[in-house]
Amino acid sequence: MINVRNLKKSYQISDDRYQVLNDINLDVSKGEFVSIMGPSGSGKSTLLNILGGLDTPDSGEVLINNINIDSLNDKKKTLFRRENIGFIFQNYQLLHNMTVEENISMPMHADKINKNIIEKQVKDIIDAVGLKGKEKNFPSQLSGGQQQRVSIARALIMNPVLILADEPTGNLDRKTGTEVLKLLSNLHRNNHLTILMVTHDIYAASYSDRIILLKDGHVEMDVKHEKEGENVDLITNILEKLNS
Amino acid sequence: MSVKYGILTILSQSPKHRYDLKVTLENMMYKQWTLNPGQVYSTIDRLVRDKLVEEVSNAENDLKLYQITKNGREEVERWLQNPIEVLLLHDEFFFKILCAKRLNFDLLNKMIFQQKEAVIKKILQLHYLRKELENTAESEAMLYLIEGGLLHLEADLKWMDMISDLEGY
């Protein structure tokens, strides 16, 4: 699904050159929900931007379904992004003069899809993200959690193969953030979506199946869940933890 | 976990015989914790000795039936209401850090890395357990424990990151 090979990226700031990503190698399979964590400046957002074709690497390559996104010209890259990748941002990035349904359907209009198909898909996705009754509302009339739901619906409307989420719960309190994470988790489970989520919050990361820690531009740790024997003595451990 | 208070909690609801008590206690823990019968039975004997539990006659069969006493109910109430003393060094990793610093242990960095990895594995385990429990009835109490476990693990990770920063790793 995603193959990252020897990825390097640096930025020039004044006289200094900062190596943000330093030889990253990574494989993500279809249907995985992966969290990328790390301190500020560890390169996690840069990595996500390169994966989504929003930034270009100095060297190395990123393959998404065997397509090297960096090798595409701008027009093809835009089309590839629109049809294959859904983006979710911390600050939602909604258009404030557009209603909920207009925000969600925006990528479909760009593709000149039939109006009836658009209406049907927007209705389905609004139901799926729990925004029924809010179709005609403007973003300013919604809570932060609801705005993020709109942004998730917009990310999903083109049936992407990959969702890239940059701190999707970063602006939300824990209760609302948890609702958004549960929604992402359910969509992942029910639609076999591949999700890469950048977060600084281990609680948010606990909704994924795999956690990658970046440090100083390289992969410090890559932890997957081992399903076998996972729950042996687990409760005892929790209780010991709670009593310690 | 205290078998004593688990038994008293179950007997607060209805009298039970020994084996039934063991099974009910295991079910309360979602069968994630297998109890040693000897541990349960010796605890019942101690509770009888301390007059927190008493034997009652059982007309249906020869199995001994146990019920909670007034003192036993008061003991559960007292236990529920009293805060638990927070003992930092009960967490072995706290103690390990103390010992490693005392020895100027040169692999402290590796020690923290491995512990971080273990904590993240545990977080992912809890995630799967939460997923399983979300689809079952009567799992609210266990979901609370999972959330509590996650918060503790989150704090552990932040603490290890802090030590790494201070040590310059």
Average pLDDT, chain A: 87
Domain end marker among B81, B109, B126: B81
pLDDT at residue A236, as a whole number: 52
Interval A170-192 mean pLDDT: 87
Tell whether B73 and B25 lie within a shared domain. Answer: yes
Tell whether B9 and B69 lie within a shared domain. Answer: yes
Tell whether B43 and B94 lie within a shared domain. Answer: no
Q: How far, in Å, CA of A4 to CA of A1, rounded?
A: 10
Cβ within 8 Å of B, A 32-61? 39
Nearest CA in chain B to A182: B131
Query: Where in the sequence is the domain holding B121, given as residue range(s)?
Result: 88-167
- Taking the CA of residue B23 and the nearest CA in chain A, the distance in Å comes to 16
Residues of chain A contacting B113 with CB distance shorter than 8 Å:
220-221
> To probe the interface with B, which of A210, A234, A237 has the most B CB atoms within 10 Å?
A234
Tell whether B71 and B128 lie within a shared domain. Answer: no
pLDDT at residue A190, as a whole number: 85
Q: How confident is the model at residue A232 (pLDDT cuts 50, 70, 90)?
A: very low
Q: Are A121 and A172 in contact (CB under 8 A)?
A: no
Tell whether B146 and B101 lie within a shared domain. Answer: yes
| Res. B62: pLDDT tops 80 | no
pLDDT at residue B137, as a whole number: 64
CATH number, domain with residue B59: 1.10.10.10
Tell whether B69 and B92 lie within a shared domain. Answer: no
The residue behind tokens 């003992």 is B87
Q: How far, in Å, CA of A86 to CA of A163, rounded?
A: 5
Structural domains of chain A, with CATH: 2-226 (3.40.50.300)
- Taking the CA of residue B161 and the nearest CA in chain A, the distance in Å comes to 9
Interval A227-240 mean pLDDT: 51
pLDDT at residue A14, as a whole number: 87
Tell whether B163 and B99 lie within a shared domain. Answer: yes
Tell whether B125 and B98 lie within a shared domain. Answer: yes
Q: How far, in Å, CA of A203 to CA of A104, rounded?
A: 28
* ipTM > 0.90 for the complex: no
A175 touching B (Cβ < 8 Å): no
pLDDT tens profile A83-141? 899 999 888 899 999 999 999 998 888 777 888 888 888 999 898 888 999 999 999 99
The residue behind tokens 């270009």 is A56
How many C-beta atoms lie closer than 10 Å to residue A143's C-beta?
10
| Res. A244: pLDDT tops 70 | no
Q: How confident is the model at residue B11 (pLDDT cuts 50, 70, 90)?
A: very high
pLDDT at residue A241, as a whole number: 53
Tell whether B93 and B77 lie within a shared domain. Answer: no
Domain end marker among B40, B59, B81: B81
| Res. A228: pLDDT tops 50 | no
Tell whether B70 and B96 lie within a shared domain. Answer: no
Query: Could you tell me the two tokens for A157?
Result: 């409307």
Domain end marker among B60, B81, B102: B81
Q: Which of A220, A225, A242 is nearest residue B128 as measured by Cβ atoms?
A: A225
Query: Could you tell me the two tokens for A98?
Result: 């557009």
Interval A216-244 mean pLDDT: 65
Q: How confident is the model at residue B72 (pLDDT cuts 50, 70, 90)?
A: very high
Q: How confident is the model at residue B169 (pLDDT cuts 50, 70, 90)?
A: confident
Tell whether B73 and B10 lie within a shared domain. Answer: yes
Interval B50-72 mean pLDDT: 88
Residue A223: strand pairing partners = A211
Q: Are A76 and A93 in contact (CB under 8 A)?
A: no
Tell whether B74 and B92 lie within a shared domain. Answer: no
User: Which residue, A242, A244, A175, A163, is CA-closest to A204?
Assistant: A175
**How many structural domains does chain B have?**
2
Average pLDDT, chain B: 87
pLDDT tens profile B14-24? 999 988 998 88
Cβ contacts of A147 within 8 Å, gap of 6 or more: A92, A94, A139
